[in-house]
Structure 1
């Protein structure tokens, strides 16, 4: 089924994309086993795929060594980009 939201860990955002600021968002995230994932905000990114540009939302999730958070491309982004998985 996959993730409904696309997620980027806050530590990755802060280390790789220092000029991007995130906006507050009212959202609750949970892992497959029901554990809450703290949400710090949301960013909008521009993605290019096969000559087309898309504005996609990424949820910024709080992560640390005790609670790592994966970077996920969620269903919301897949719906916008319509990736051709056969290629």
Structure 2
């Protein structure tokens, strides 16, 4: 997947992101993380092997959500 320029610009501002992984029984596990881009891959920061890392090793499907600093025409923050 090519990372859009708008996402690259947002990440350069240093926002926190929500990483959603899947627990072993399929329920979501949400973690607030630091995120960056190295080459064409997202890079996340973590200090130990927490549940999110165990989940990713078992099932690499994830979702990543970030809140932008711009608002749309309806006055809602972009994400």
State the TM-score bracket (shorter-chain normalisation): under 0.3
TM normalised by structure 1 equals 0.25
**Structure having greater relative contact order (Cα 8 Å, sep ≥ 6):** 1
Could you say which structure has the higher helix fraction?
Answer: 2
